[in-house]
Amino acid sequence: MDENVELGGKISLSGFKELKPAELVVAKKLIGSYARKFADSLENYESLHIYLKAVHKTPGSEKYEIHGKLLFNGNLKVSEVIDRNLFVALDNVLKKLEILSEHI
């Protein structure tokens, strides 16, 4: 069973326990940066949930599937990205959520 990691009460992460400690630190900083943007720019920002799934675990050819859910003012926005680079995938999921949240 995947355990959730709560960051600051309004951010939850699932599937991140498999990451190396250094990767986890960078991922948390990236997610936290976007969460701050959401909190500052969105009316009634409620929560951000990021789910990470390693799709292909062969060393040197890993793929990461990342799902993001942003809840604010009663609106739910979702995005999904699959990429070989964990941080590119995270950034792209969060960018998509940012763009979707601007089009209300």
pTM, whole model, 2 decimals? 0.88
Render pLDDT for 34-84 as a digit per residue (tens, 0 to 9). Answer: 999 999 999 899 999 999 997 877 777 789 999 999 999 999 999 999 999
Domain annotation for the chain: domains and CATH numbers: 4-102 (3.30.160.100)
From the list 44, 40, 63, 46, the residue with the least C-alpha distance to 12 is 46
- Tokens 């960078």 identify what position? 26
Q: Where are the beta strands (DSSP E) in the chain?
A: 4-7, 11-14, 45-56, 63-72, 75-83
Question: How far from 61 is each of 26, 55, 86, CA to CA, in Å?
Answer: 20, 10, 12
Distance CA(43)–CA(74), nearest Å, equals 10
Q: What is the largest CA-CA distance in the chain?
A: 42
